[in-house]
Amino acid sequence: MDLGFIGVGRMGFHMVRRLIEAGHNVLVFDANAEALARVQKVGARVAASPSAIADQMETVMASLPTPDIVQAVAKAVSDGKRIKRFVDLSTTGATMAARIAAELKAHDIALVDSPVSGGVGGAEKGTLAVMVSGPTADIAAVQPALAVIGRIFRIGERAGAAQTMKLINNYLSATAMAATAEAMVMGAKAGLDPKLMLDVVNAGSGRNTASVDKYPKSVITRSFDFGFATGLMLKDVKLCLDEAAALGVPHDIMSAVGRVWQLTQDEVGADEDFTTVVQPLEKRAGVEVKST
């Protein structure tokens, strides 16, 4: 299958690599020259711009960091000579997805709203959760490509439905990270061994994605290198808060989680790994959550 792919950073690189290994012909673009050089080494061809990709490919995929960038890229490809569908693998929120779908529809281009979950590790292994909403025929057209990068979940036809599902997932992930930070700092302050704490939690009812994977690998080792930025997690929680408010549903816990991530960004930095969420709490408690 001939594919365009825009955005070949940490996630996009592995998705493109897997697509090429599966036999797909992939034409890529990224604003980062180093990212382009890396992906060329695994067999990708490079285009001069997003619009150049849209001139050559019927299906254009994108994995981009923010809603505004996705909208700008969607606009850039909308006048392409060949493009028929735009597959957005990013997290933009339901409102932006609906807006982009309408803008693309004016150019007879379909939006396949397809955010993914599973992080860099999932992208590397091809085990991402791929949430999809959009026109049935266009989803069917791209299903062989999406199946290469992970497990497909069809959410519906409405633009933005997959985004809502992704935001719910990421909110729960953000909550697990924040709650585990508080619990681990509390235990460390009480003199408990962090590694033993994780062993007990993961054998019991407190087990969660943070305690199983992120804290053992990147927090108690003090490497803080799991592969997802604090600023991106805060962005996702804020998008979820916006959607909850728009839907008129309670979001008290979500608001508290949002404050934790805002604090982390303010004190540690937006570009730092999201496992640093524990650091502001450690500072206040006067302890470190680390293996001994």
Residue 10 CA to residue 155 CA, distance in Å, equals 26
DSSP helix/strand/coil, 139: helix
For residues 171 and 253, is the Cβ–Cβ distance under 8 A? Answer: no
Percent helix, strand and coil across the chain, each to the nearest 5: 55, 15, 30
Q: Determine whether 166 is an active site residue.
A: yes
Residue 220 CA to residue 237 CA, distance in Å, equals 25
Q: What is the 3-state secondary structure (H, E, C) of 172-230?
A: HHHHHHHHHHHHHHHHHHCCCCHHHHHHHHHHCCCCCHHHHHHHHHHHCCCCCCCCCEH
141-173 CB burial, b ≥16 within 10 A, e <16: bbeebbebbbebeebeeebbbbbbbbbebbbeb
Catalytic residue among 105, 125, 166, 195: 166
Question: What residues are labeled active site?
Answer: 166
